[in-house]
């Protein structure tokens, strides 16, 4: 079974890289670093499929360096330490340090990144990390300060078109086929700027034609790829559809639906911080006061998942999703603030009642600021009835407790405020 087209076409020369002339063109910074054979630890930052992994492999192979590949998606601290131990065994007095390439380094937790730091500082390895996220936020400062940052640009349509033509001409399998490239705009759109997706799509179209002549046009592309590309696109429609299904499953108290859609996102490479943030929002919006611990659980889950990273973060996210799905639901806090905002927009400049105003100066006290304010803690049950809303909206009830889980709020408020507000 031949290797995938994307692997067969990995660049072997500078001229075979597309879209990164600002780094790899004649006389450019990264090219000079490589050609001088003085390669520092580096971070490659750019969108998926622009050549970060290919560039790391090109550097290692062109400089004849030993290299180790790790993916932060499925590697832990143990894997990092094993790679560093192997690198130490490759150390010789006059030999440059082996290259340790870590794909999606932003998915490494702080502890995993800390495990790299000593080896990078001591020159045991030359680190090349690849990330699609801003390294200023996702890579620990100590590691980032010891690495040179190179930003890879998104591939333009012209780059992708040139890559298609190059693949048809250069690949030993494709150049034996009779391929006519009539239209490529739909295939390029399917790729989303990702070279690997582009090559995968091209290969699918060619293989689907069997031994006959291959005509690549928009109709053929639509016919072949719509059947075969069931990919989770983090920037496309599925991204929003699946997170919507995930949230609605939890809101609907279905833990099975919740973990299924969670699994779809994780297998598609979705950012665990994005998932965690959505769980925090859901805990406040759909559970809220019905179970205040839900927000604590979701926030703790965010911190734990971020600190641990994948693959173990899947367990944390699953636990949080199931807990939230099985929790009582209520959106009274969400509705209360929206009612209040609507009222503020309707009446934006209602004056603060004098007794609630701050009075830091004698003049303010003399004109009545703070006068007759009653300090709640000076009264029995730490409560005294006084007005807290502007006069024009006195008696307006923004907060409407509802549901079995919020009966305690209704009882508490009725005991103190009587029938002033409409709490059912």
Residue 244: which CATH number?
1.20.272.10
Which pLDDT score is estimated for 9?
92
Check pLDDT > 70 for residue 22. yes
Tokens representing residue 264 in the block: 């779809």
In a domain, 91, yes or no: yes
Same domain? 49 vs 145 = yes
Same domain? 165 vs 243 = no
The stretch 125-141 carries a mean pLDDT of 88
Check pLDDT > 60 for residue 290. yes
Q: In total, how many domains does the chain have?
A: 4
Choosing from 97, 123, 151, the residue where a domain stops is 151
Same domain? 264 vs 305 = yes
The stretch 77-95 carries a mean pLDDT of 79
Same domain? 33 vs 135 = yes
Choosing from 228, 257, 276, the residue where a domain stops is 228
Q: What is the CATH number of the domain that holds 369?
A: 1.10.3710
In a domain, 13, yes or no: no
Among the residue ranges 234-238, 261-265, 281-285, 365-369, the one predicted with the least confidence is: 234-238
**Reported confidence tier of residue 88, pLDDT bands at 50, 70, 90:** confident
More confident: 364 or 289: 289
Same domain? 71 vs 178 = no
Supply angle C-alpha 20, 21, 23, rounded to 5: 75
Q: What is the CATH number of the domain that holds 118?
A: 3.40.50.300
Which pLDDT score is estimated for 230?
47
Which of 81-95, 289-303, 359-373, 402-416 ranks highest by mean pLDDT? 289-303
The stretch 294-304 carries a mean pLDDT of 95
Closest by CA position to 160, among listed 269, 47, 57: 47
Which pLDDT score is estimated for 238?
64
The stretch 309-324 carries a mean pLDDT of 93
**Reported confidence tier of residue 276, pLDDT bands at 50, 70, 90:** very high
What residues make up the domain containing 192? Answer: 157-228
In a domain, 335, yes or no: no
Which residue intervals of 252-312 are DSSP H helices? 255-267, 272-282, 293-308
**Reported confidence tier of residue 395, pLDDT bands at 50, 70, 90:** confident
Same domain? 34 vs 100 = yes
In angstroms, the Cα distances linking 186 to 15, 51, 175, 192 are 26, 22, 22, 10
Which pLDDT score is estimated for 415?
85
Same domain? 73 vs 174 = no
- pTM of the predicted model as reported, rounded to 2 decimal places: 0.57
Which pLDDT score is estimated for 232?
53
Q: What is the CATH number of the domain that holds 220?
A: 1.10.8.60
* pLDDT tens per residue across span 198-237: 998 999 898 888 777 888 988 888 888 875 544 455 555 5
In a domain, 5, yes or no: no
Contacts with 129 (C-beta within 8 Å, 6 or more apart), sequence order: 42, 43, 44, 101, 102, 105, 135, 139, 147
In angstroms, the Cα distances linking 203 to 68, 225, 272 are 28, 10, 31
In a domain, 165, yes or no: yes
Same domain? 71 vs 130 = yes
In a domain, 14, yes or no: no
The stretch 302-308 carries a mean pLDDT of 90
**Reported confidence tier of residue 326, pLDDT bands at 50, 70, 90:** very high
More confident: 73 or 297: 297
**Reported confidence tier of residue 128, pLDDT bands at 50, 70, 90:** very high
Choosing from 151, 183, 208, the residue where a domain stops is 151
Mean pLDDT of the chain: 87
Same domain? 143 vs 33 = yes
Check pLDDT > 80 for residue 341. yes
**Reported confidence tier of residue 403, pLDDT bands at 50, 70, 90:** confident
More confident: 15 or 405: 15
* pLDDT tens per residue across span 104-122: 898 888 878 888 888 898 8
**Reported confidence tier of residue 400, pLDDT bands at 50, 70, 90:** confident
In a domain, 305, yes or no: yes
Strands (E) in 108-228, as ranges, are 126-131, 148-151, 179-181, 214-216
> Rg of the chain over CA atoms, in angstroms?
30
The stretch 340-369 carries a mean pLDDT of 87
The stretch 172-178 carries a mean pLDDT of 87
In a domain, 45, yes or no: yes
Which pLDDT score is estimated for 227?
57
Same domain? 300 vs 404 = no
Same domain? 33 vs 138 = yes
Same domain? 28 vs 93 = yes
> Do strands 148-151 and 99-103 pair parallel, antiparallel, or not at all (unpaired)?
unpaired
């Amino acid at each position: 079974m031949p290797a995938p087209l994307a692997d067969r076409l990995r660049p072997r020369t500078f001229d075979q890289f597309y879209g990164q002339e600002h780094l790899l063109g004649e006389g450019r910074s990264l090219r000079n670093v490589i050609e001088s054979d003085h390669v520092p630890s580096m971070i490659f930052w750019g969108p998926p499929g622009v050549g970060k992994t290919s560039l790391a492999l090109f550097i290692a192979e062109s400089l004849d360096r030993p290299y180790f590949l790790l993916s932060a998606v499925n590697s832990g601290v143990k894997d990092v330490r094993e790679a560093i131990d192997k690198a130490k065994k490759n150390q010789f007095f006059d030999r440059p340090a082996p290259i340790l390439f870590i794909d999606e380094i932003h998915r490494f937790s702080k502890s995993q990144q800390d495990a790299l730091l000593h080896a990078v500082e001591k020159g045991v390895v030359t680190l090349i990390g690849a990330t699609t996220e801003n390294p200023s936020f996702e890579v620990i400062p100590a590691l980032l300060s010891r690495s040179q940052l190179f930003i890879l640009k998104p591939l333009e349509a012209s780059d992708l078109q040139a890559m298609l033509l190059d693949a048809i001409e250069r690949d030993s399998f494709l150049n034996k086929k009779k391929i006519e490239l009539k239209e490529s705009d739909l295939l390029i759109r399917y790729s989303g700027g990702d070279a690997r997706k582009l090559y995968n799509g091209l290969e699918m179209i060619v293989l689907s034609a069997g031994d006959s002549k291959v005509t690549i046009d928009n109709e053929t592309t639509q016919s072949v790829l719509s059947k075969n590309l069931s990919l989770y696109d983090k920037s496309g429609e599925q991204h929003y559809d699946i997170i919507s299904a995930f949230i609605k499953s939890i809101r609907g108290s279905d833990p099975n639906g919740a973990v299924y859609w969670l699994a779809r996102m994780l297998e598609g490479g979705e950012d665990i911080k994005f998932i965690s943030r959505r769980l925090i929002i859901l805990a406040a919006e759909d559970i809220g006061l019905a179970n205040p611990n839900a927000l604590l659980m979701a926030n703790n889950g965010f911190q734990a998942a971020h600190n641990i990273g994948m693959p173990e973060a899947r367990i944390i996210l699953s636990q949080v999703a199931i807990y939230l799905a099985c929790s009582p639901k209520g959106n009274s806090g969400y509705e209360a603030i929206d009612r209040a905002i609507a009222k503020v927009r309707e009446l934006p400049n209602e004056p603060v009642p004098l007794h609630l105003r701050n009075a830091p100066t004698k003049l303010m006290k003399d004109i009545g600021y703070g006068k007759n304010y009653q300090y709640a803690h000076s009264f029995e049950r730490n409560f005294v009835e006084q007005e807290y809303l502007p006069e024009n909206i006195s008696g307006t009830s923004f907060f409407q407790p509802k549901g079995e889980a919020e009966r305690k709020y209704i009882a508490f408020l009725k005991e103190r405020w009587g029938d002033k507000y409409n709490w059912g």
